[in-house]
Structure 1
Amino acid sequence: MKLFLSFFLLSAFFLGACKVTQKGTSSVTEQSSSNTDLSAKIIFTLSKTPCYGTCPVFKMTVFENDSLVYEGERFVDKIGVSSKSLPKGKVKELVSKFRAANFFEFKKEYSAPITDMPTTYISFTDKTKTLKIKDYHGSPEELKQLEQLLVDLVSDEIKVKK
């Protein structure tokens, strides 16, 4: 009887924990979708992966309607999902800069046989063309500058730790 009661209580605990997790996830999704028109076309994405140290880990998506969704994961001041509006015309300005830098001429991957570096994934969609780049190490300075333009969109408000 004791064994059955222990099993029952343990099962109830785990089922309850799963339910709380689901509830928390849906409220985050509802919050981000209520603040941003997710039917708008994605123009830019940028994500930074972990390293062995305290590298910031986050993702961001920039939409054609001058809105942005940010998801902070680790070693950033703001953890979780949030959204914001960018100044009107900001996305068009960024598109011009990416075009001027010939974004689609960059390689799809920059890497080197070293360890402990974070990886930056950056993508740009211009009309019907999309390029996603994996930047681990050794990318051109022009690409780093474009990455920084996107990071700057969240650093003022979100305060990404450097």
Structure 2
Amino acid sequence: MKNFSFFCLTILLLGACKNTRKLANANSEQTAKNAENLAKTIFTLEKTACYGTCPVYKLNVFENDSLVFEGERFVGTIGLHTKKLKKGTVAQLKKTFREANFFNFKSSYEAHISDLPTTIIAFNDESKKLKITDYHGSPETLKNLEQLLANLVADEVQIKKE
């Protein structure tokens, strides 16, 4: 009987831990959704996994000079984080992206090579929107724009420079 009671207590505790994890994840997702509802998303940047230690994260930059970063793997800070940017940062980024003719890039850059991370970058500029999947072979100008967005949080979350 004593062993049965211990067994039941163990099952209850394991279930409680699992529910706590689900609640924490739900709270993180809700925080991100709340941030997105407050301001229009202008830029997104996502880095996907490779077979090695490539940083995996998502970044949303909003019209109100704020951002939400979600670190997943191989970044210094895992989880959801928000940051207020210096006023005018998004306006300057928009200008830079326009001057680089962002909307003239192809929507996809691919190659028959394995084990590279994919960078997904998007720009929402009033009535124009473009999402680019960059696996390999994109122009240097596009790479520079990707790095510009990554630099917004690189110091705070210790994103590994590629």
TM-score range, shorter chain: 0.7 to 0.9
Aligned-CA RMSD value: 2.4
Partner of 1:21: 21
Partner of 1:121: 120
Q: Which moved further from structure 2: 136-145 or 152-161?
A: 152-161
In structure 2, how many angstroms separate the alpha carbons of the residues matched to 1:37 and 1:132? 18
Amino acid at match of 2:50: C
* Cα offsets for 1:78-112 (capped at 9, x unmatched): 11100000000000000000000110110000010
Amino acid at match of 2:122: S
Partner of 2:40: 41
What is the number of residues matched between the two proteins?
161
In structure 2, how many angstroms separate the alpha carbons of the residues matched to 1:156 and 1:41? 25
In structure 2, how many angstroms separate the alpha carbons of the residues matched to 1:22 and 1:80? 14
- Secondary structure at 1:121's aligned position in 2? strand
Partner of 2:106: 107
In structure 2, how many angstroms separate the alpha carbons of the residues matched to 1:119 and 1:31? 26
In structure 2, list runs of 5 or more residues that go unmatched.
Answer: none
In structure 1, how many angstroms separate the alpha carbons of the residues matched to 2:86 and 2:8? 55
TM-score by length of 1: 0.87
Structure 1 residue 8, shift from structure 2 partner = 6.1
- Secondary structure at 2:153's aligned position in 1? helix
TM-score by length of 2: 0.87
Partner of 1:77: 76
* Cα offsets for 1:115-146 (capped at 9, x unmatched): 00000000000002110000000000000000
In structure 2, how many angstroms separate the alpha carbons of the residues matched to 1:129 and 1:70? 24
Distance 1:113 1:152, change over 3 A: same
In structure 2, how many angstroms separate the alpha carbons of the residues matched to 1:11 and 1:156? 42
User: Identity over the aligned pairs, expressed in percent?
Assistant: 53
